[in-house]
A and B are shown apart, each in its own frame.
Chain A
Amino acid sequence: MELSAPRGFDLWRRLRHEPTAAFGLAILLIFIPLALCAPLISPYDPLFQNISASLTPPSADYWLGTDKLGRDLLSRMLYGARISLWVGTAVVLSAGMIGTLAGLLAGYLRGWVDEVLMRVTDIFFAFPSLILAMAIAGALGPSLRNALIALVVVTWPVYARLIRGQVLSLREQEFVSAARASGSQHRRIILRHLLPNTLAPLLVQASFDVGTTILSVAGLSFIGFGAQPPLPEWGVMISEGRNYITTQWWLTGVPAMGILLLVAAFNLFGDGLRDILDPRLRR
């Protein structure tokens, strides 16, 4: 699959004209600043308890209501967005880097390096990711940090495979052959020619994976293997609110809506990005 990597400005312009991508981008452009500014704009401390305001429905004082301990849901949502965004990008960046390195080496060097790395990814692919992540979190002890480690472990092989495939198809192409023939060093070929050309599919994959990771962390936290209370992580919040689902819907509904919007934004953004970067699909 041949992909063209448009220049930065071009990409930006095209993104804005792709309606789905623009929508995804718009949500992200709302969420990210809100999350970053959470300490400035949150009406309350996300951990501040006001027992006398326990389980207040959404109102003027508490826009999104309060939980059992009278903690403000809006403030918890804002801090929760921070956690989710941070977790999503941290996992995808780490896994992306490890995977890219492995994929570049495997695809460029071929031979036994390739064979070994690919067999290793086979092993990782065999595990259902959540079960492996659970086992890791169980062995290391449940915490947000260990959930991150677990998710990096289950995510990196995706990138290794992706990049390897890209490199394999690129290395036979003229500009790489030419660079080789002209005696360029391996490092130079990889950094100057291969890596930039694998960037496009990498970005698309990363965009989807941030969303998937946010879902996975929420899931792990929901069953107790991720973030620990009182951290306002969205999965934890849904877990804490699940006994009130019939009586105080906002305790679960609001964080679920947060997850939905953020994950959908990354999915839409990834969709748009792929449409732009993959000319074959652009119609």
Chain B
Amino acid sequence: MLQRNLRRSGSYLLAMLLVLGILAGCAAPAAQTGSEASSSETAAEPAASDEVTRANTLIFAADLTDLISLDPAVAYEFGGIQVVGSIYETLVGFEPGNAEIQPLLAESWDVAEDGDMWVLTFHLNPNAKFASGNPVTAQDVLYSWSRAIDLNMSPAFLFTDVSQLTKENMAAVDDQTFEVKLPKSVSPPVFLSIISFSLAAVVEQAVVEANAGDDMGSSWLNDNSAGSGAYVLDAWDRSVSVTLNANPNYWGAAPAMKRVVMQNTPELANLQAAIETGDADIVQDLGPEQVEVLQGNPDIQLVSGQSTGLAYIGLNATEPPLDNPDVREAIRYAINYDELIALLKGNAQLVQEFIPIGFLGHTGENPFTQDIEKSKELLAKAGVAEGTEIDAMVPVGTGPGGIEWSTLAAKIQNDLAQVGLVLNLQQLQSSELLNVYRAQEGKAVFMSWGPDFPDPDGNATPFTNYEARSLAWRNEWDDAKAIEMSKAAAAEQDPTKRIELYKELTEYVQHNGPYVLLYQPTTTFGLRSNVHGFVYDPVDTPSITFALITKE
């Protein structure tokens, strides 16, 4: 018995020894790392001036979970736009902090009339060249824009619907001259704003075509770049980071930061830790609680920027009881806006109109304050019974202003309960939520919206024009009057008249539209104190210009 057991267990012992041997092999270095890891931070390699070191590397941490594409024709979310805006350039653009449109790839442009069309002629800068060293030509512009229209991905509606741009109405007259024809219903200044957006970025035709594959090079552009911007794409490590290197052939001023690492950091607590430890040079979207902790830390500067986004609740205008405008009005009167803003501790401003602060046409008027009596009256008038249930979709994670979406939704749920409405919350990842929302299948939807270009029309069309298949469409609000008013306002050339038109539209949407506008958030950045030249300009693409940043 013993003999047998011994023989049998001999093999186990062997296996055990093997395991222990492997363990010992791993254990030895494992034991050392604790101390060595910390020392390696200080041991920066001595480097030549153009070599990449920690000193000329910028580490930018933010929640980049929504990053799905680095193709200018596809990217339509913060992370993607920020990367595309750093790698590619548009014909015209904005300078940080300046609302006046500026030359970029186009050194000048003319606007003329041709019958019932506008004709815009862009004269390209002859010095502009791609990272490959080849010049940027009108043919490249034509290819890039046609490509965006053909691919027809998320941002394409800015061309096809908002600008009513067709491939037939674009032409490369010669290498330096690019011509676009637009219907009169589209205002040229609005169009110039639109083409400052990443969708209109110019890619190098020869390079993209050589790698077209079966998706016009879309997947190739996720790992490579073909632009003329200050940076080129080094690597996109999916769901981890995007690394950009300075473009050695850049035709503008060479950026001080030779490398930019955009680190995906979804948790607020980790963002806070990243800036405290110096693991990151810049962190984006700190919450109010993180701001409180970081205030007074001498190593960190806090920079707040007025975001152009708006947090709102979309109410599907065909879903009972939300199809009754009185019910939507009742909901607007049920919410305690003061407490909402208090929750955000200065990370938000109360805005109850779809044109954000800082945009032409913003009125600054907030007609709604909590009025339980009035709200109940409206509900009674609409015949809505006490305890009526409304399904609401809420994104997972942190919302604008650094408050958890679920917290925000629970607050609203609590307010609505006071007038007898039961909000059933369902949390969804924002991508999934958008899928349902875009399919017009939402009922009440918590979301935020940021204009794609700095013109009131950037919000007016999505919020009011059902045909644009954006917000009004998602909420199934097909209102002929609103559509007509927004079209008229967009086409109006006289700024004073335009402001007047938007004021009327704003008031109309405030009381008839399918929205409860909640607030305009402030985006708070944490910067290490040695970081300079940081400017946040939400209307610009990209909103942070990495090329301007320096470090001491």
Contact = CB atoms under 8 A, between A and B. Distances in A.
- A and B: partners? yes
Interface of A: 47, 49, 51, 54-55, 68-69, 141-143, 224, 228-230, 236, 240, 242-248
Nearest to B292: A247
Given A47-B414, A51-B339, A229 B269 contact: no
B404 A243 contact: yes
Nearest to A229: B406
A247 B427 contact: no
B289 A142 contact: no
A62 B456 CA distance: 47
B550 interface: no
Nearest to A54: B343
Of all A-B residue pairs in the complex, the 8 with the closest CB atoms, nearest first, are A229-B406, A243-B268, A230-B410, A51-B339, A49-B414, A224-B396, A68-B407, A247-B289
B428 interface: yes
B267 A228 contact: no
Contact of A230 (B267, B287, B289, B406): B406
Contacts of A244: 289
Query: In this complex, which of A49, A55, A142, A243 has the most chain B Cβ atoms within 10 angstroms of its Cβ?
Result: A243
A256 to B, nearest CB: 15
Contacts of B413: 230
Interface of B: 267-269, 272, 287, 289-290, 292-293, 339, 342-343, 394, 396, 398, 403-404, 406-407, 409-411, 413-414, 425-429
Contacts, number: 66
17 contacts: A47-B414, A49-B410, A51-B339, A54-B342, A68-B343, A68-B407, A142-B427, A143-B426, A228-B427, A230-B406, A230-B410, A242-B269, A243-B289, A243-B290, A245-B269, A246-B272, A247-B289
Nearest to B432: A138
Decide if the interface of chain B is mainly helix, strand, loop or mixed. Answer: helix
A204 B302 CA distance: 56
A101 to B, nearest CB: 34
B426 A228 contact: yes
Nearest to B287: A243
Interface centre among B269, B398, B407, B429 (most CB of A within 10 A): B407
A128 B267 CA distance: 26
A225 B55 CA distance: 42
| A contact patch SS | loop
Nearest to B289: A247
Contacts of A143: 426
Nearest to A55: B289
A244 B407 CA distance: 13
B289 A69 contact: no
Contacts of A141: 426
B396 A240 contact: no
A67 to B, nearest CB: 8
B429 A69 contact: no
Nearest to B402: A243
Contacts of A47: 410, 414
A69 B407 contact: yes
Given A224-B396, A240-B406, A243-B404, A229 B427 contact: yes
Contacts of A229: 394, 406, 409-410, 425, 427
Given A245-B269, A247-B289, 13 more contacts: A49-B411, A54-B342, A142-B426, A142-B427, A224-B427, A228-B425, A230-B410, A230-B413, A236-B406, A243-B267, A243-B287, A243-B289, A247-B293
Contacts of B406: 229-230, 236, 240
Given A68-B404, A230-B413, A243 B293 contact: no
B262 to A, nearest CB: 21
A249 B515 CA distance: 36
A247 B288 CA distance: 11
B411 A69 contact: yes
A141 B436 CA distance: 12
A169 to B, nearest CB: 23
Contact of A243 (B269, B414, B425): B269
A69 B272 contact: no
Contact of B429 (A55, A224, A236, A242): A224
Nearest to A246: B269
A240 B409 CA distance: 12
A69 B414 contact: yes
Contacts of A228: 425-427
A47 B423 CA distance: 13
A135 to B, nearest CB: 14
B407 A246 contact: no
A246 B339 contact: no
A57 to B, nearest CB: 14
A95 B328 CA distance: 45
B328 to A, nearest CB: 23
A68 B401 CA distance: 14
B307 to A, nearest CB: 19
Contacts of A243: 267-269, 287, 289-290, 398, 404
Nearest to A248: B289
A145 to B, nearest CB: 12
B274 to A, nearest CB: 13
Contacts of B428: 142, 224
Contacts of A247: 289, 292-293
Contacts of B394: 229
